[in-house]
Structure 1
């Protein structure tokens, strides 16, 4: 994607590195799968913090991307509690 004028960084801190790794690993396969011509995202982990950077060409696409990735994180957190 090119010409990304809008973006945000979502940061999620977990009690330990193990939980953050589980969350990041669960999100990793979705990177690129949800991308479209107007938005994209990356996922990174630094210790116990998982960061999702969403970029978009317009604010509507940015909001949609934030909503999608926030839901994915919520699902990953719910699943990781069972581990």
Structure 2
């Protein structure tokens, strides 16, 4: 897929353990949600978790951003919040 549009959703957490919990919560969705117009990548380094959303058009990018922000928000709520 050629993805000319991209955004990075990065968050810092109180501890590496909390960041790991967020990563583990969101990671299973990476392979399940990808479609023809959007993809996402997830990475974690220490207390920082980053989701990169790529899309073929702006409408798909907006939808992808909304999806991943919602998933991250649910993970944060369950794990106890964000710094």
- Which aligned segments of 4 or more residues in structure 1 are displaced greater than 4 angstroms? none
Unaligned 5+ segments in structure 2 are: none
Count matched residues: 81
Provide the aligned C-alpha RMSD in A: 1.1
Say which structure, 1 or 2, has more relative contact order (CA 8 Å, 6+ apart). 2
How do 1:32-47 residues align onto structure 2 when only pairs under 5 Å count? Answer: 32-47=31-46
Q: Counterpart in 2 of 1:4?
A: 3
Query: TM-score scaled by structure 2?
Result: 0.94
**Structure with the larger helix share:** 2
CA distance in 2: counterparts of 1:41 and 1:17, whole angstroms: 22
Query: TM-score scaled by structure 1?
Result: 0.94
Unaligned 5+ segments in structure 1 are: none
